[in-house]
Structure 1
Amino acid sequence: MTDAQTAAERIARLRSEIDEHNYRYYVLDAPSVPDAEYDRLFNELRALEAEHPELVTPESPTQRVGGEALAAFGQVRHELPMLSLGNAFAEADLLDFDRSVRKSLDRGIEMVEYSCEPKLDGLAVSLLYENGQLVRGATRGDGSTGEDITANVRTVRNVPLRLHGKGWPALLEVRGEIYMPRAGFEALNARAVESGAKPFANPRNAAAGSLRQLDPKITASRPLEFCCYGVGRVEGSGLPETHAGVLEALKRWGLPTSRELKLAESVQGCLEYYRAIGERRQSLVYDIDGVVFKVNRLDWQRELGFRAREPRWAIAYKFPAQEELTELLGVEFQVGRTGAITPVARLKPVQVAGVTVSNATLHNMDEVARLGVMIGDTVIVRRAGDVIPQIMQVVPERRPAEARPVEVPQQCPVCGSAVERTQLVRRGKGKAALSEGAIYRCVGRLACQAQLKQAIVHFVSRRAMDIDGLGERIVEQLVDTGLVKSPADLYTLSFEQLVVLDGFAEVSSNNLLAAITASRKPALARFVYALGIPDVGEETAKRLARALGSLSRIEKALPEVLTWLPDVGLEVAHEIHSFFEDEHNRTVIGQLLARGIELQEEGGLHAEFAACASLGELLDKLGIPGIAATGAKKLAEAAGSLEAVIELSQDWLSLSVTKGLSEKARQALREFFADAANAECARAIETQLREFGMHWESERKTAAGLPLAGQTWVLTGTLESMSRDQAKARLEGLGARVAGSVSATSTCVLAGPGAGSKLAKAEALGVEVRDEAAFLALLRQQEG
């Protein structure tokens, strides 16, 4: 396996894992890993993408800001994206940031003035004022689309409903953080305990949960505060030309700003501010998790511009996670949706950063081995990012004589089925190597109630089948009572079965049945995602549905055929193929379709993939030792067809004079096709390419009837009004094909700020180039 292939597989796994963490943190307000672990994954992904820029895709977490809008609220589109900030974790990171700023400005500047503000631990929001009147409040969401929380924002007491004074622009979008002060948080939790309700884990979760209440009266009862840190859209009279000046103007108009705001004349002043406020951190009335530094001059901010995910003129210097010593009392094993057995540390309760910690994640048995942790050990626990506890290391000199090793159970703690260690398959040229994975799994599948419950929870979730009213507590009841033994059983539930369950009455039973009925016509992509195929997230499900167009094609697709789809690597392709090969999975899918599931948005193969394959690519995907992409292309040109290649491989005389192949490659080719199984595998791939319409001899198609049908566009640089992924979707909706590279056949290049080699190549080839304004005008014209 090449370094690029290894990197591609690791990148795919990192993206999937980060996307899940983003969803749990920003949408569910239930983070599953510490900030430090998230940052490690994110930094690893960013480093890999820097090494392999050809693998960067618009939907990568590095290209976008985490989280999505909740369906319960109306959606608000941010005309200027609400970007997140890059992070510094050490003094060297901040010094590198300052060095990069000065170098980018390229004026021999020795010192840059920065604004310094505490990084509040709350929820980022946007407030829109028209003619001084508050008309809309929205969450950041995924940076492009947020939740409309206007009614709730109006209840926050320090948010002015009308701006004070005079001189404000006709349209002013204010951005800031809504948070809950510590005293208010403690009082809220005290009331929750008194009433028997579950207390909030921390002030950030309390603030986020309060703003996401459908009843504004509940939000009004919560001790929330707002602090602004900047502006978005502005139309009308001009604002000051410094960041500090803008905040001073906002303060005059009645908007709260940080009392801790200061200016630093240089990066050394920033470091002094960071150390000073770090010493006062515990005495502040609110939680902070770092300091934000911004270039103060706005003209310099504009000159520095943006990366896809973050501004180049600002950075958040995070505080170190807080740590304490405690004792590991035991380790329990939890069972997840895919059967993964996860060790969870049970700790002697200890106060860490003001919160009592009694549990911590151990991730997997490789992490247990890395730590060398034993039951009875004294361990260092960190609340990374002041949120999720994590065991960082063992204090070996305190290990008691009776300490016991952590052992994986041989039987599942829930269903008693066998527990097996996963096998990692590493596929190289012509061979597959097995090695032991870090994950142990229960083999009970849906016979294991833990797996079944999690599978049902995933199946009914908002981004999957979207069955409202089926929370975890209800799913547990349905599984525990035996009413639901697979997702298909949801569609056989009756009123009589539901109404007798705990917490159900006539109205709630009918509501749930109505929600189940409403879910019977899912889009193909939602259905594929709902199935819970390992390593197949929402984006991969959309890609499968859009490209192949039907469930039957996805079910039949061979792994090698799947790799013709963008960002579907061989490992993920094998997971997809194996899932649909499984008899139990086929049975459940058959039951779902038989019980009334009618898939929507099915059709033919997408025009972009018609005749997309070539013989050279097929030969390369076979993994013949010694024959890489260039050799495969030359072999295809020499032979002309797959059957001719197979015949040529066994004709030593003809093969010996075939150009472009080394002696070693000729021998490998001969040995490869001498194995009848390899020849049949190649023929099966070609047969399926013909069947799907992807074969090089298949008819090429265009998205007929659409205004941009037959056109090929290329995206480069950063767009301000939407992400590149959204721009791609808009173009494809108009019939265009969006390619990753510029060629003489390209129709147009959409170039935003930061466009590089693609723009230069387009200009050299004479390909039309449009900026964002022209693109938006085209969309308005074509989309009406």
Structure 2
Amino acid sequence: MADFHQEIERLRDEIRGHDRRYYVDATPTVSDQEYDRLLSRLKELEAAHPELVTPDSPTQRVAGEPIDGFQTVEHARRMYSIDNSYDAAELGEWARRCFEAVDPEIAALEAEITALGAEHEGLKGKRDDATTRRRKEIEDRRLELAGVRAERLAWGEEHGYPVDGGYTCEPKIDGVAVSLRYEEGKLVQALSRGDGRRGDDITANVRTIRSVPLTLSGKRPVPEVVEVRGEIVMPQADFERVNAALVAEGKEPIVNPRNGTAGTLKQLDPQVAAARGLRFIAHGQGELTGAPFATYEDWLAALADWGVPTNPLTKACGDMRAALAYIDGFATDRAGLGYGTDGVVVKVGRYDLQEQLGYTSRFPRWCMAYKYAAEQAVTELLEVDWQVGKTGKLTPRAKMTPVFVAGTTVQHATLHNLGEVRRKDIRTGDTVVIEKAGEIIPQVVSVVLEKRSAGATPIEPPVTCPVCGAEVLIEYDQRRQNDITSYQARVEREKKAAEKAGREPSEIPHPEPLSELDESGRYCSDPECPAQLKERLIHFAGRSQMDIDGMGEKVVEQLLDAGLVRSYGDLFSLHEKRDAVLALERMGEKKADNLFAGIEAAKQRGLARVLVGLGVRHVGSTASQILAAHYGSIDALTAASEEEIATFKVDGAESGIGDEIARSIAEYLRSAKGRHVIDELREAGVRLEETAADRPATLGAALAGKTLVVTGTLTKYSRSEIEGLIAQHGGKPTGSVSKSTDYLVAGEKAGSKLAKAEKLGVPVLSETDFEQLLAATD
């Protein structure tokens, strides 16, 4: 037994050493095959001697059965967000505030100015000559000190606002923030940021990340309790590998590495997380017992000694001139890192000065993130095709000469709608500037007019559906439509006012007629269009809707091409066509069984998921949750009048459903098509009721009691994702702006809701502002 025990301990130490050399030192000394051989031998020995297995053994990264859910836990120390800017001058202003607050010379000047002010106050009411002379001396000295202070600030500006201990610059990693808690050197808990005060316990998944040490050890003593904070990322190579595997299995690919990281950390089965190749990079500290560290640089050195990976690109900068030089250099270097970054974080290096600078209600005052503008590239627009979505909307998509931008090669970009095309005067054959909105979605920003060729041709919109040939319906900007429809009413009101006042009516300017510039969308008029059916089924099966595992875009296409599915109801009888399903290309027994199991599980998702899955126009996840919670069943909702749906209240306040959503859902449920779909789902055994257990859990109370409206085109979130976040953090997402609205979250082309919010004085948030609000306590 002793020999086995010694070999097990030797293997554990050897494997931990290899992990350290690979993830911390970046100097691996063995091949992957040799590493796997060592790990296999350790597993073999532990299997033979289970009494010797310990929780911190390298074999125990993935241990136990899938978990049932995630517990929300309070952070020992709050996890703040970081304030950010895209402007070097604004970053300089932040540095000036830091310099002004911690510079010893300015502190001495201000102390004397304050003392003189107090003395001056004490002389009030006295009129003797000595007091008068003293007042004059004080005023002169205060003016002199103010001048010296101004000179010191000017010196600070000239020298890059240096602070004692300097600044530290490091890449701003586009990942998921976590806090790792070690007690007596052992990893005991990993929490997500959550709302900053409370986060989800994701320990089981974080333990699978090989760059996260399960035990801290080194030459430096390890505190009894130490929390290491940092970012978890999915490297680009692993993102591409995971997506290739998902597509091969007929599942939906991950949108981007950050979404993939967040989704992986919320998997209930740690085996999934273990296969995703996530990495951890430390950048901060939470709770810490024992003597504090003097500087951030000291802290990073301790982490490296304990085997925690830090960013090797972190650099100490004596002043802001050096920091700005780092930012300029990193703008070029970041493309080759292999993981996502979107800027540079600049921190005051000394911890005592950080404490002196303190915090706002949302951010530390001692650090600032400089974010790079979206990367752009120039390419040629070759042709435009029109894609048909689940609601029948036709969206123009540009096909371009492939170009590398923001880490990937881009060949297609959205053109949004014809109005956007005409406003930017985009033509086939043009040289265009593209960028990734939020570094995710490629879009055409502008045309390089000086490079326009004689052969560039205007983009002609389709008048019939490119898939089924049905007539195309045109939608125009709502504000312009309102101007035109209300014109005659305004004329009549002016006539009556003039008649009452005994004057000639004033001329009301006639609004310009609607044109292609006002067009906001084109729609296929045929609800049975095959393209719509495909997109509707993909949407119906999606994660945020019915969450049918194994039913991605490729599988939907196969099922449609084989004639196995013609409606939602057909999905739930698919198991009866097992042989035909197995005959599909790359559809084995296991894959088919997983698909059938996913379809069966979808029957119990509840009414809200069914409603959003049906893809009824204007009815997103928030409206679906509100409707399902209020009516409780599809029968009650169908029986309600359009007016009732538009005007019902929740907890005494407007529900936010409004006329447009009410009209859309009522028309759908009463239409022959809607009734047929509901009957099919009912017959298939799909649950069309909603219970409290179906509603999403609340993650925190950052938005408690707040009403938020989301409008415009978002870049970081889908509409359902951001509205889901609002609800999960205690807020109430609604569809219309009113006096009771606390915030409007506005993306691009926000339209009438933005105008109404500004008129009512409702605070308007960008997506970044919204993320920062989630961390707020006030």
**Do the two structures share a fold, i.e. TM-score over 0.5?**
yes
Please identify, of 513-522 and 371-380, the stretch whose mean Cα deviation from structure 2 is larger.
513-522
Cα deviation, residue 222, structure 1? 7.8
Alignment partner of 1:468 is 2:549: yes
Cα deviation, residue 186, structure 1? 12
The normalised TM-score by structure 2 is 0.58
Counterpart in 2 of 1:585? 674
Please identify, of 298-307 and 86-95, the stretch whose mean Cα deviation from structure 2 is larger.
298-307
Secondary structure at the counterpart of residue 441 of structure 1? strand
Cα deviation, residue 325, structure 1? 2.5
Q: Structure 2: how far apart are the matches of 1:247 and 1:568?
A: 51
After TM superposition, the structure 1 = structure 2 runs for residues 440-459 of structure 1, keeping only pairs within 5 Å, are: 440-445=522-527, 447-459=528-540
Please identify, of 370-379 and 282-291, the stretch whose mean Cα deviation from structure 2 is larger.
282-291
Counterpart in 2 of 1:483? 564
Counterpart in 1 of 2:140? none
C-alpha spacing 1:576/1:152, structure 2 compared with 1 (3 Å): same
After TM superposition, the structure 1 = structure 2 runs for residues 193-272 of structure 1, keeping only pairs within 5 Å, are: 225-232=279-286, 234=287, 236-237=289-290, 239-240=292-293, 243-264=296-317, 270-272=323-325
Cα deviation, residue 375, structure 1? 0.6
Counterpart in 1 of 2:70? 75
C-alpha spacing 1:428/1:339, structure 2 compared with 1 (3 Å): closer
**RMSD between aligned alpha carbons?**
4.8
Higher relative contact order (CA 8 A, sep 6+): 2
Contact 2:189–2:201 at 8 Å: present in 1 too?
A: no
Q: Over residues 666-696 of structure 1, what are the superposed CA-to-partner deviations in whole Å (9 max), with x where a residue is unaligned?
A: xxxxxxxxxxxxxxxxxxxxxxxxxxxxxxx
Alignment partner of 1:170 is 2:224: yes
Q: Structure 2: how far apart are the matches of 1:282 and 1:580?
A: 50
C-alpha spacing 1:518/1:181, structure 2 compared with 1 (3 Å): closer
Alignment partner of 1:344 is 2:397: yes
Q: Structure 2: how far apart are the matches of 1:581 and 1:103?
A: 67
Cα deviation, residue 509, structure 1? 4.0
Equivalenced residues, count: 544
C-alpha spacing 1:523/1:205, structure 2 compared with 1 (3 Å): closer
Cα deviation, residue 478, structure 1? 2.5
Please identify, of 299-308 and 381-390, the stretch whose mean Cα deviation from structure 2 is larger.
299-308
Secondary structure at the counterpart of residue 585 of structure 1? helix
Q: In structure 2, list runs of 5 or more residues that go unmatched.
A: 1-65, 111-148, 154-160, 488-512, 696-703, 708-724, 733-739, 743-776
1:438 to 500, 512, 520: 520
Q: Over residues 601-638 of structure 1, what are the superposed CA-to-partner deviations in whole Å (9 max), with x where a residue is unaligned?
A: 459xx9xxxxxxxxxxxxxxxxxxxxxxxxxxxxxxxx
Q: Structure 2: how far apart are the matches of 1:422 and 1:245?
A: 61
Contact 2:346–2:368 at 8 Å: present in 1 too?
A: yes
Secondary structure at the counterpart of residue 290 of structure 1? strand
Alignment partner of 1:541 is 2:624: yes
Q: Over residues 251-290 of structure 1, what are the superposed CA-to-partner deviations in whole Å (9 max), with x where a residue is unaligned?
A: 3433222233344566555434322433554576765331
Counterpart in 2 of 1:647? none
Counterpart in 1 of 2:687? 598
Contact 1:73–1:147 at 8 Å: present in 2 too?
A: no
After TM superposition, the structure 1 = structure 2 runs for residues 555-574 of structure 1, keeping only pairs within 5 Å, are: 555=638, 556=640, 557-558=642-643, 560-562=646-648, 565-574=654-663
Secondary structure at the counterpart of residue 348 of structure 1? strand
Cα deviation, residue 373, structure 1? 1.1
The normalised TM-score by structure 1 is 0.58
C-alpha spacing 1:378/1:97, structure 2 compared with 1 (3 Å): same
Cα deviation, residue 374, structure 1? 0.7
Q: Structure 2: how far apart are the matches of 1:196 and 1:495?
A: 21
C-alpha spacing 1:295/1:553, structure 2 compared with 1 (3 Å): farther
Secondary structure at the counterpart of residue 450 of structure 1? helix
C-alpha spacing 1:715/1:178, structure 2 compared with 1 (3 Å): closer
Q: Structure 2: how far apart are the matches of 1:595 and 1:451?
A: 22
Letter in 2 for 1:288: T
Counterpart in 1 of 2:4? none
Counterpart in 1 of 2:171? 118
Q: Structure 2: how far apart are the matches of 1:241 and 1:115?
A: 14
Cα deviation, residue 299, structure 1? 6.8
Secondary structure at the counterpart of residue 470 of structure 1? coil
Alignment partner of 1:294 is 2:338: no
Identity among equivalent pairs (%): 37
Cα deviation, residue 219, structure 1? 7.4
Secondary structure at the counterpart of residue 366 of structure 1? helix
Cα deviation, residue 529, structure 1? 2.4
Contact 1:323–1:382 at 8 Å: present in 2 too?
A: yes
Contact 1:149–1:212 at 8 Å: present in 2 too?
A: no
Counterpart in 2 of 1:414? 467
C-alpha spacing 1:539/1:147, structure 2 compared with 1 (3 Å): farther
Q: Structure 2: how far apart are the matches of 1:386 and 1:602?
A: 39
Cα deviation, residue 471, structure 1? 2.2
Please identify, of 486-495 and 152-161, the stretch whose mean Cα deviation from structure 2 is larger.
152-161
Alignment partner of 1:358 is 2:411: yes
Q: Structure 2: how far apart are the matches of 1:572 and 1:586?
A: 18
Secondary structure at the counterpart of residue 74 of structure 2? coil
C-alpha spacing 1:294/1:452, structure 2 compared with 1 (3 Å): farther
Q: Over residues 18-77 of structure 1, what are the superposed CA-to-partner deviations in whole Å (9 max), with x where a residue is unaligned?
A: xxxxxxxxxxxxxxxxxxxxxxxxxxxxxxxxxxxxxxxxxxxxxxxxxxxxx9995353
Secondary structure at the counterpart of residue 412 of structure 1? coil
Contact 1:524–1:551 at 8 Å: present in 2 too?
A: yes
Cα deviation, residue 452, structure 1? 1.5
Contact 2:335–2:407 at 8 Å: present in 1 too?
A: no
Please identify, of 296-305 and 496-505, the stretch whose mean Cα deviation from structure 2 is larger.
296-305
Q: Structure 2: how far apart are the matches of 1:512 and 1:281?
A: 40
Counterpart in 2 of 1:763? none
Q: Structure 2: how far apart are the matches of 1:157 and 1:258?
A: 12
C-alpha spacing 1:414/1:142, structure 2 compared with 1 (3 Å): farther
Contact 2:208–2:273 at 8 Å: present in 1 too?
A: no
Q: Structure 1: how far apart are the matches of 2:621 and 2:336?
A: 43
Cα deviation, residue 225, structure 1? 4.6
C-alpha spacing 1:230/1:365, structure 2 compared with 1 (3 Å): same
Q: Over residues 748-772 of structure 1, what are the superposed CA-to-partner deviations in whole Å (9 max), with x where a residue is unaligned?
A: xxxxxxxxxxxxxxxxxxxxxxxxx
Q: In structure 1, list runs of 5 or more residues that go unmatched.
A: 1-70, 607-712, 717-722, 731-738, 742-774, 776-784
Counterpart in 1 of 2:13? none
Alignment partner of 1:526 is 2:615: no
C-alpha spacing 1:335/1:314, structure 2 compared with 1 (3 Å): farther
Alignment partner of 1:513 is 2:616: no
Contact 1:158–1:226 at 8 Å: present in 2 too?
A: yes
Secondary structure at the counterpart of residue 469 of structure 1? coil
Cα deviation, residue 364, structure 1? 1.9
C-alpha spacing 1:512/1:587, structure 2 compared with 1 (3 Å): same
Counterpart in 2 of 1:554? 637
Cα deviation, residue 444, structure 1? 2.0
Q: Structure 1: how far apart are the matches of 2:420 and 2:633?
A: 41
C-alpha spacing 1:725/1:400, structure 2 compared with 1 (3 Å): closer
After TM superposition, the structure 1 = structure 2 runs for residues 58-97 of structure 1, keeping only pairs within 5 Å, are: 74-75=69-70, 77=72, 79-80=74-75, 84-95=81-92, 97=94
C-alpha spacing 1:562/1:250, structure 2 compared with 1 (3 Å): same
Counterpart in 1 of 2:456? 403
Cα deviation, residue 138, structure 1? 6.0
Cα deviation, residue 376, structure 1? 0.8
Cα deviation, residue 345, structure 1? 1.0
Letter in 2 for 1:471: G
Counterpart in 1 of 2:504? none
Q: Structure 2: how far apart are the matches of 1:531 and 1:583?
A: 15
Letter in 2 for 1:561: T
Counterpart in 2 of 1:30? none
